[in-house]
Amino acid sequence: MSKSSKKKKVVTEERYHGPLITNEVSLSYIKFFPWIMLPITTFLYFAGSYVDRIGIIKVLFLSCILINGFSIIFGLFNSLVNRLKSLTYILIGLVAWTVLVSFTFIGLLMFTSVEDSISARTVNDSSFTLFYLIPILLLFVGMTLMYAWYYLPQNQGKIWKINQWETYKVNSKKKEWLFNILGVIGIMLLFIAVMTGFIERIFGLFLGMLMTLTFPAVIVDAVYAAIYIRKHPEYEELT
C-alpha cells in the first residue's frame, strides 16, 4: 500500500482540522476506503433494493457503487492523484458519504424490519420510515453546518470539550455523577427495549444517529482539504 508523505515549507503549518476527528483527511484514504465500501454498497444495491417499487434505493446505491468504483480506478495511479489532489479530496468526501448512506440505511432496515423480511418493500410500506428519516436528515444538515462553522477562519482553533475528553474528565470530576446517571438511564432503556421487543429498532436508530453525528465531520474536512490544497499544493502527496 502506498504511503502518504507530507512535504511542507518551513512557513507552512499543519493543516487545520475540525473537532471530533483526531487527524485530518489524507490522500491515502483513496487507496483503501473505496475497496471496503464497494462490496458493501453492491450488496445493499441487490439485497436492500429487492422489490423496490419506487426505485429511490436502487438509484441511491447505484450512485454509491459508481463513486466507489471510480475512486478505486482513480486511486490506482499515484501520479494522477498527485496531479489532481483537490479532486482526490472531493472523491474521499463522496466515499465518506457512501459510508454514511450505507450504514444509516442498515439502521433504517433494522428500525423498520423487526418482524418482516428485510427488503425495500418493508421500508417503503412501514409507518416508522418517516420517524427515522426525518430526524436523521435534520441531524445530518445540522451537524454538517456545525462542523463547517468550525472551519471558518475566525473559528479555527477553538476548543470543543467533546474533543477534549481526557482534560474534561480531569477538570470536571464534580460532574462525574452525571455520567453515572446517564449510564444507569442507558441500561434501563436497554432493559426496556429487550423486554418490549424493540431492541432491533433501538439499535437501528442508534446506528443511524451515531453515523450521522460523526461522518459529516469527515465529509466537511475533505471539502476543506480540497480548498486548502489549491493554495498549498506542496502540503501532501502520495509516494
Task: Give the total number of structural domains in the chain.
Answer: 1
User: pLDDT 10s per residue in the chain (239 long)?
Assistant: 444 545 444 334 677 777 667 778 888 899 999 999 999 999 988 877 666 666 788 889 999 999 999 999 999 998 898 899 999 999 999 999 999 999 999 888 888 875 555 566 667 777 788 889 999 999 999 999 988 888 887 777 666 555 554 444 444 555 566 666 766 766 776 666 666 667 778 888 888 998 999 899 999 999 998 988 888 888 777 76
Q: Are 200 and 4 in contact (CB under 8 A)?
A: no
Residue 199: how many other CB atoms lie within 10 Å: 16
Question: Helices 33-47 and 85-112: crossing angle, nearest 10°?
Answer: 40
Q: Supply φ then ψ for residue 38, to 5 degrees.
A: -60, -50
Question: Helices 199-231 and 85-112: crossing angle, nearest 10°?
Answer: 170
The grid coordinates of residue 117 equal: 423480511
Start-to-end Cα distance in the chain: 10
Q: Which domain holds residue 59?
A: 4-238
Question: Helices 56-75 and 33-47: crossing angle, nearest 10°?
Answer: 160
